[in-house]
Structure 1
Amino acid sequence: MTPLQRRALLATLAAALAGGLPAAHAQGRYPDKPITFVVPFQAGSATDQLARALAQSITEQTKQTVVVENKAGASGMPAAQQVARAAPDGYTVFITTNTTHAANEHLFKKLSYDPVKDFAPVTGLGKGGQVLVVRPDAPYKTVADLVAAAKKTPGRLSFGSGSASSRVAGEMFKQLSGTDILHVPYKSNPGAITDLLGGQIDLMITDTATGLPQVRAGKLKPLGFSTQKRSPQLPDVPTLDEAGVKGYDMSYWFAAYVPAGTPAPVVNGLQELLVAAVKSAPAKTFFDTSGAEAWTTTPAELARFQASESQKWGRVIKAAGIEPE
């Protein structure tokens, strides 16, 4: 092989390698140091599970460490504020949900962050439904039994929630079923699950990633699914609408954001990394076992989606009779 042929071969290999990697990484600009994923919920939550799967994939793609930092509590506001104040360089990434970026502005009179002005959208990550669960020894076998018990003793039964999705799901259930059930707030859904298992609360409507393992282990009993379509993981469980709570439809979503002012090339490079990560084996395992489904977007598509979701959650929260705190 002549020197000229050798140089041509090396150039071809370099081009092929660059073509197999996100543009920003191939050019060696981003990332060139560890990345932090900030998650607004506890370890073990659905968002945490997805963040860790994505972190594993991005570490494999880039050979850079991705640290997952859980900052739970106050409906994700401290975590959102932390990311909003971080350096806009692409190394602090908010792996979050509709709680912080569509619901909180309608649940609270004042936020410590602006869900639009303080963040640059990167990509959607996934969507999912929720499941109404009770303990196996609960005296009700169906949603109708639960509704009847709640109406017989107003205010006696309680439901837990550790996210806006779970909170609004419970409030919507009360509103559409005509029941009075006490709300008990938690920092994250796994904490509510712990108290449900221990008998401190009576029920909850939780994301499938948190609830399914307990259902499969026989520790919790599913009564209804939150969307208009049954879950493939729970084909024998009726939707809440089918079970008699007419008009019930509630889902949730995951997405990634960075601080406002992050340069567009960095946002685009991160978006490519995350889209590839959502398609990776670790993320596929999460989606296959959690009942959620993969969903990715461009930054502009996520911005438009977030705006429409904010309006939707505002309508749902108002219809559920929830007063801003």
Structure 2
Amino acid sequence: MFKFAKLAACSLIAASLTTSAVAQARYPSKPIRFVVGFAAGGASDVVARTLSESMGNILGQPIIVDNKPGADSLIATQFVAGAEPDGYTVMVGVSSHAINASLYTNSKVDPVKDFAPIGMIGDSPNLLVVHPSVQARTTEELIELAKSKPTYLNYGSSASITMLATELFSDMAGIKMTRIPYKGSGQAVPAVMAGDVQVLLSSAITLLPHVQTGKVRPLAITSARRSPLAPDVPTVTEKALPGYVATTWYALFAPAGTPTPVVTQLNAALNTALANPATAQKLQAQGVDITPSTPAELQNFVQKEVVKWAKVVKDTGTANAPK
């Protein structure tokens, strides 16, 4: 009787493992969700929607973009970290992913331990722009204006990366500007165009079209070198602040515990999509420098980013800044 019961139990376990293996082998068998931590219309949303179509075609399942804005993407990261690790919930992470653990000390999400890295998408420079009414046409003039009128300038921020990038700029320049927070660049960009804030440092993805129409005035780009998309716009480091570089990166993450074969399949689909000329052209037209990676390379990169931005948070005294 005991032997029969033991045999039956073993059969059930084997059947369960077989069913699980078959289900995993059939991945994906239903739609996948891309979770974005910012409002629709922002930079990460544009990247997510560009990739969702291409990767959906490759994987043979639709990919639905789910915007969960708020708390500098903490709402989205907490949601993904707690999701079923089955490959059907994927986060389109940005630089904030590596920043928030040190910026918000009450955050319970570990950017390394709580996620399975899938792969890097690319890197995008930020633009420093002002409302056309601001009496500054260069970065140097903006710094002089801020020094002459210490309480005059407000700046919009839509994510922890843009806040810290602006705070680092202010710290290096020896100036002070008042932060006005927004849930995403989809709200921050209209605010600077309307003059509700005078200064904005945000992704080139969303700002370049408004630069071209003259609704905002570009002062500088935050990459180490000038961007081919805006060759006439100088870098911050050229004259104003030597050594200042602050770009925004984009990458895909799954919840920790997601099966390695699923992560490998998602990485392959991502890199195939990035190699597709049509997809690459769409991303590059938005200012994204495509930099595909393996999951291990992304893991190593994120670990370094956590250390880098923790130092900036400490040096600028911005921990637990208001959301």
**TM-score normalized by the length of structure 1:** 0.88
1:132-178 per-residue CA deviation (whole Å, 9 max, x = no partner) reads 01122322111121111111111221101101221111101111111
**Contact 1:77 1:112 (C-alpha < 8 Å) held by counterparts:** no
> Equivalent of 1:246, from 242, 245, 256?
242
- Look up the match of 1:119: 115
Give the Cα separation in 2 of the matches to 1:43 and 1:134. 23
**Contact 1:159 1:184 (C-alpha < 8 Å) held by counterparts:** yes
**Contact 1:176 1:247 (C-alpha < 8 Å) held by counterparts:** no
> Equivalent of 1:94, from 91, 96, 115?
91
> Equivalent of 1:55, from 41, 52, 73?
52
- Look up the match of 1:3: none
Deviation at 1:230, TM superposition (A): 0.9
- Look up the match of 1:195: 191
Secondary structure, aligned partner of 1:234: coil
Give the Cα separation in 2 of the matches to 1:188 and 1:281. 29
Alignment of 1:294 with 2:305, yes or no, is: no
Give the Cα separation in 2 of the matches to 1:156 and 1:137. 13
Q: Percent identity?
A: 38
**Contact 2:154 2:178 (C-alpha < 8 Å) held by counterparts:** yes
List alignment gaps of at least 5 residues for structure 2: 1-20
> Equivalent of 1:67, from 64, 69, 93?
64
Deviation at 1:285, TM superposition (A): 3.0
Give the Cα separation in 1 of the matches to 2:219 and 2:210. 13
For 2:32, the aligned partner's letter is I
Give the Cα separation in 2 of the matches to 1:280 and 1:46. 20
**Contact 2:105 2:319 (C-alpha < 8 Å) held by counterparts:** no
- Look up the match of 1:40: 37
1:48-94 per-residue CA deviation (whole Å, 9 max, x = no partner) reads 11111111002222331110000111011111111111111101000
Give the Cα separation in 1 of the matches to 2:64 and 2:277. 19
- Look up the match of 2:308: 312
Give the Cα separation in 2 of the matches to 1:234 and 1:251. 15
**Contact 2:99 2:310 (C-alpha < 8 Å) held by counterparts:** yes
For 2:167, the aligned partner's letter is E
List alignment gaps of at least 5 residues for structure 1: 1-23
- Look up the match of 2:74: 77
Residues 190-269 of structure 1: pairs in structure 2 closer than 5 A: 190-269=186-265
Deviation at 1:194, TM superposition (A): 1.0
Give the Cα separation in 1 of the matches to 2:59 and 2:96. 30
- Look up the match of 1:16: none
1:22-69 per-residue CA deviation (whole Å, 9 max, x = no partner) reads xx9xx9622111000001011111111111111100222233111000
Secondary structure, aligned partner of 1:318: helix
**TM-score normalized by the length of structure 2:** 0.89
For 1:288, the aligned partner's letter is Q
RMSD between superposed Cα atoms in Å: 1.6
For 1:104, the aligned partner's letter is N
Aligned length: 299
- Look up the match of 1:12: none
Give the Cα separation in 2 of the matches to 1:317 and 1:231. 27
